[in-house]
Amino acid sequence: MKIVIHGGFFSESSQSDETKLKKQTALKTIIEKGFEFLKTHTALETVVYTTTLLEDCPLFNAGIGSQIQRDGKIRMSASIMDGKSSRFSGVINIENVRNPVLIAEKLLKEEDRVLSGQEAGNYAVSKGFESFSTETPERKNEFNLKLNNSKTGTVGCVALDNKGHLAVATSTGGKGFEIPGRVSDSATVAGNYANLNCAISCTGVGEDIVNGAIASKIVTRVTDGQNIQSAFSKTFHELNEINGFAGAIGIDSKGNIYWEESHPKIVFAAYDGTDLTLFE
């Protein structure tokens, strides 16, 4: 059993040592809770549960604390993929829910498994999810001051359970100040992908991740026989050729954990029950 999570890049918010320490402390707490959950649950159940913990932490740009778009509204995206069944589900630009990943989980059993905008919100209401504002004073202040710099925060979780099954979940509050209607990579197979062989979650500039088809490329290369390190290296070499900004975490079916980034530094943690790694 293994689990790895990420919380975007340090560059997504303050570079202060205090902020870094807070994020690392939060990741440590969350990944320990996620691994404990994994002991008695499937990889799919675990990535959903752990991603809700990340969404509930205002230090990260997903769920509570999501970025505000150009028109003053918050729209979030999230998706999950079950490596065992190869089923993908997600929501795009959903508003007024606390945990977008839980809506994605509900959709996994539907025939139509990716919903967007108001219809995604209507679906959430029909399933009993209450309206919830994820706006924080810090995000509102950023919006009011028009801090129009690159926002690259996303959260994600990849898990391998005791039956050897893989799953992945990814959630984001967007890049901030984007044109309303912009689609994030987090609810596409470019940013979130898994099968029986490998599972990958990405963070960074969504357009670059989509241009590079990062998650699906890495998983496909592992499936075709490359080891996970080689698959990452080849994919990120191609991304660097277009000066793409991205990071990714992954686990293969053998339990190998790997991560890479084109620009430092991704915030991530990995845990197998014995060794806990926090990337600084």
Question: Which band of pLDDT confidence, cut at 50, 70 and 90, is reported for residue 237?
Answer: very high
Please pick, among 154, 170, 172, 235, the residue that the annotation labels catalytic: 154
The DSSP H or E segment spanning 232 is: helix 228-241
* C-beta neighbour count of 42 within 10 angstroms: 17
Starting at the edge strand found earlier in the chain, the sheet holding 2-9 runs 114-116, 87-94, 76-82, 166-172, 155-160, 2-9, 266-271, 276-278
Assigned CATH topology for domain 2-278: Glutamine Phosphoribosylpyrophosphate, subunit 1, domain 1 (3.60.20)
Decide if 154 is catalytic: yes
User: Could you read off the pLDDT of 134-185 as tens digits, one per residue?
Assistant: 988 888 887 777 554 444 578 999 999 999 999 999 999 998 888 999 999 9
pLDDT above 80 (res 62): yes
Return the pLDDT at 150.
46
- Report percent pLDDT > 70 for the chain: 94
**Boundaries of every domain in the chain:** 2-278
**Angstrom distances, CA of residue 200 to CA of 62, 132, 213:** 18, 29, 11
- Is 20 or 133 the better-scoring residue by pLDDT? 133
* pTM, two decimal places: 0.93
- Of residues 160 and 278, more confidence is placed in 160
